[in-house]
Structure 1
Amino acid sequence: MNLNYIALLIVEGEKVVEILPEDVAREDKKWAPSVVVYVVGAIPSIGAMKRFIVAQGSFSAKPVVLYHSDGYFVVRFANEEERDKVLCAGPHYFLKRPVIMKPWLPEFNFKKEILTTIPIWIKLPNLPLNCWNSVVLSKIGSSLGQPLYAEECTTQASRISFARILIEMDVTRSLPKMIKIRDPKGTVLEQQIWYEWKPLYYKKCLQVAQSCDKPKEIPAKRGQGQGQRKEWKPTIMGDKNQEKQT
């Protein structure tokens, strides 16, 4: 691309680079259908991550997978619909390790956001069926963090044992096991919260579910890390059993 000299804004005698909305509108649109992907405790090779993403479903165009030196990936899909399908298909695991996925935002900052505010799938067992709508589920999600999505089975009420929603939560705080709900008759009910994955946050190194050492880079063979939904437990990096798994 060709670059040109552009006169800068002068504020109190200092040069200030002023970026206007129209300056970044095209790039915002380009990166909007993207997700940030982080594998807890490990850094897969870019080839392994490409295979992992492709295995999540069928796409109109092959997703673009880019690696950042801070240890995360940015995956750009052809459109936001395909992005949302992948986000809603979680929780995701790569070689039994939890995978954190977040929609990309212009103000995204990896160290400030992805290690403290994480999308977590929760289950609401025995939630009254008249509460299975976007308003009530949004209110419940808002009591825990930033509600994002309800899964398809919850949206269609095709499975009624529990409702399942994705919420962006601050993992530096304790995660509640129960919330109180007041029904239309004024009765206060205690609603249990089940977490499909409960991340551990280490305040010493400001990391999620891993030691303070740099995550270990692991190559993955084709087909590994797909379709796994097992409960994940943190392990110590360098353990012999773990080395065999990786």
Structure 2
Amino acid sequence: MAVSFTAVVARSSVQEVLLIPLKAPKMHMGAPAVFFFEEEISQSENFLQFALVSKCTQGRPPLFEVKRTLQADFHLAVDVLVSSLDSRHLLLLFMLQSDFIRLWLKEQTYIKGYPFRFFKWTREFKVGFEAFVVPIWVSFPNLPVNLYQGNFFKLVAGAVGKVLKVDGATTVVSRTIAARACVEIDLKSCLSEKVWIGYGASGFFQQVVYERLPAYCTGYSKLGYCVEQCRRRSTGIQKEGVQGVNLLQPGAGKLVEGVAETCDAPAVVDGV
């Protein structure tokens, strides 16, 4: 039986009360204003590090049904806090990273017949805009087998993105054709097809293969769409003579206002 979210928080020995200095209101553009420093904003986001936004555009069952189904279907170790952001979005707060990753890696699930999609919560979240930070499995073909173990491989995979999970076959070195890890990828960033690995007095470029990398449309801020499918940008792009391409495939560069920006400089791992 899953331990309740409230119980875990109550038993936690680290219950920090967020205290920041009180500030007198100011005026900005004719209206009362309050300003937060970047460090304060980052501090306020700590409890949301394992938060997902669930999108349910076709409706949803009651919150208790959503919660009960998630606990049963995904075998959550600890209870999840489910709250409503609006009629089409739910906020899911997890206490354990393992529970958070297990659900985030699931592209879509059905609860009582309703489709649910999951996105990582970020400060940029707004209703109607899908997150551009996604979990992606990446492979490193022909990586030296001695780099499969522990933090050696996490350092290699970490050059691509934050490591969320290492493939079991890589951990036990039972499949050495390619090492695999699931990493956190920003689809708007420049995705490199290789990383540099410093190897003693020398080094080498290691190939990176992105598995099932989705397209992202900046016109509608939707996953699964690329420029040629975006009606909002297609007119402007055709007028400028720029042909639509699947911009967010591996090595294609990053998407800037519907135009591909090539990533010429490879990622480099310092100090490995």
Once the two structures are TM-superposed, the CA of residue 51 in structure 1 deviates from its matched residue by: 5.2
The residue aligned with 2:222 is 207
Check if 1:109 corresponds to 2:124: yes
TM-score by length of 1: 0.56
Residue type of the alignment partner of 1:53: L
RMSD over aligned CA atoms reads: 4.5
The answer as to whether partners of 2:194 and 2:206 remain within 8 angstroms in 1 is yes
The residue aligned with 1:150 is 165
The residue aligned with 1:130 is 146
The residue aligned with 1:167 is 183
The residue aligned with 1:56 is 74
The answer as to whether partners of 2:83 and 2:90 remain within 8 angstroms in 1 is yes
Q: 2:98 aligns with which of 80, 84, 89?
A: 84
After superposition, the C-alpha distances for 1:176-207 in whole angstroms (9 at most, x for unaligned) are 44445453362524424141x31111233221
After superposition, the C-alpha distances for 1:128-164 in whole angstroms (9 at most, x for unaligned) are 222233255334432x3x3132336267435433333
The answer as to whether partners of 2:143 and 2:206 remain within 8 angstroms in 1 is no
Residue type of the alignment partner of 2:107: Y
Any gaps of 5 or more consecutive residues in structure 1? 1-6, 214-246
Provide closer, same or farther for how the CA distance between residues 89 and 151 of structure 1 changes in structure 2, counting only shifts above 3 A.
Answer: farther
Residue type of the alignment partner of 1:149: L
SS of the residue corresponding to residue 53 of structure 1 reads: helix
Q: Identity across aligned pairs (percent)?
A: 15
Once the two structures are TM-superposed, the CA of residue 122 in structure 1 deviates from its matched residue by: 1.9
After superposition, the C-alpha distances for 1:36-95 in whole angstroms (9 at most, x for unaligned) are 1345x955625574355221114343x222232384432123x3x3x4344057631325
Residue type of the alignment partner of 1:141: G
TM-score by length of 2: 0.52
The answer as to whether partners of 1:88 and 1:149 remain within 8 angstroms in 2 is no
CA distance in 1, matches of 2:92, 2:153: 32
Provide closer, same or farther for how the CA distance between residues 174 and 59 of structure 1 changes in structure 2, counting only shifts above 3 A.
Answer: same
CA distance in 2, matches of 1:92, 1:207: 17
Provide closer, same or farther for how the CA distance between residues 153 and 16 of structure 1 changes in structure 2, counting only shifts above 3 A.
Answer: same
The residue aligned with 1:235 is none
* Larger RCO: 1 or 2 (CA < 8 Å, sep 6+): 1
The answer as to whether partners of 1:122 and 1:167 remain within 8 angstroms in 2 is yes
SS of the residue corresponding to residue 92 of structure 1 reads: coil
The answer as to whether partners of 1:119 and 1:166 remain within 8 angstroms in 2 is yes
Provide closer, same or farther for how the CA distance between residues 193 and 140 of structure 1 changes in structure 2, counting only shifts above 3 A.
Answer: same
Aligned residues: 194
Once the two structures are TM-superposed, the CA of residue 32 in structure 1 deviates from its matched residue by: 4.1
